[in-house]
Amino acid sequence: MDFGSPAATDQRETLAAPEYLWSGSAPAPSHAYLLGPVLARLSAASAHKVLDLGCGNGAFAASLARRGLDVTGLDQSASGIDTARHSHPGVRFVRADVCQPLPAEYAG
């Protein structure tokens, strides 16, 4: 990874970036077609807890939480977690590298 590269943003992406910088809290366009199927699967599994790995700015996690699910979002982007915590204060967000083993409290 080239840590001298500029950071990726929600306006411009690059795999070489050491940090993904979020500039907004709006949901991604994909959330509109993902939410229904995800909720259906969670309901079919009688799931009440959700761990959103790679939660970004927290918009999807917040959508699930508004529907009564106990949601925790994990992302390695400091700006994503900051945006998520500010925009969705009722949801837990944790900064963690999702390419590494999960923090002990989320394993299993």
Asked, for residue 17, whether it belongs to a domain, the answer is: no
Q: How confident is the model at residue 99 (pLDDT cuts 50, 70, 90)?
A: confident
Asked, for residue 68, whether it belongs to a domain, the answer is: yes
Q: Two tokens at 63?
A: 């959508």
CATH value at residue 83: 3.40.50.150
Asked, for residue 69, whether it belongs to a domain, the answer is: yes
Number of structural domains in the chain: 1
Where on the phi/psi map is residue 54: left (φ > 0), alpha (ψ -120 to 50), or beta?
left
Cβ atoms within 10 Å, residue 15: 8
Burial class (CB in 10 A: 0-12, 13-18, 19+), 80: buried
Asked, for residue 21, whether it belongs to a domain, the answer is: no
Whole-model pTM? 0.81
The sign of the CA dihedral 94, 96, 98, 101 is negative
Q: How confident is the model at residue 64 (pLDDT cuts 50, 70, 90)?
A: very high
Residue 6 has pLDDT above 60, yes or no: no
Mean pLDDT of 72-85: 94
Range of the domain at 63: 47-99
Mean pLDDT of 21-49: 92
Asked, for residue 95, whether it belongs to a domain, the answer is: yes
Instruction: Tell me what pLDDT residue 70 has.
Output: 97
Asked, for residue 31, whether it belongs to a domain, the answer is: no
Helix (H, G, I), strand (E, B), or coil: what is residue 14? coil
Q: Between residues 108 and 92, which one has the greater pLDDT?
A: 92
